[in-house]
Amino acid sequence: MTDLYSRQKKLREIGEVGQLKIARATVLIPAGPESEMATEYLRRSGIGSIAVDPHIAPLDFLHADQFQFELCRTFAASAWIATQNVVRILESK
């Protein structure tokens, strides 16, 4: 059986311990055009559980001004949400 997470576990900040943290984590993301793709990347990183919550305030995509095309901006925002959630999980106790 191939290890689906082997490439991200190579990261010093993740490893087996970080991957376990990721697997046990629950992530809530705000509803919006970015939520589906953010969910896709989070699911592929092995996150324990992901829920899209329409009641949380939408995130302000920090790098939106670098994207002129809406579909690229939305995709980048999705990847950004997923990335920042993983970073937060790794930083948590």
Under DSSP, is residue 27 helix (H, G, I), strand (E, B) or coil? strand
Using CB under 8 A as the binding rule, whether residue 44 contacts other proteins is answered as yes
Q: Which is nearer to other proteins, 58 or 75 (CB)?
A: 75
Q: Which is nearer to other proteins, 10 or 55 (CB)?
A: 10
Residue 14 tokens read as: 């993740």
Residue 14: other Cβ atoms inside 10 A: 20
Using CB under 8 A as the binding rule, whether residue 8 contacts other proteins is answered as yes
Instruction: Report the alpha-carbon distance of residue 45 to residue 56 in Å, rounded.
Output: 22
Q: Which residues contribute to the site for other proteins (CB under 8 A)?
A: 1-11, 13-14, 33, 36-46, 62-63, 66-76, 78-80, 82-84, 86-87
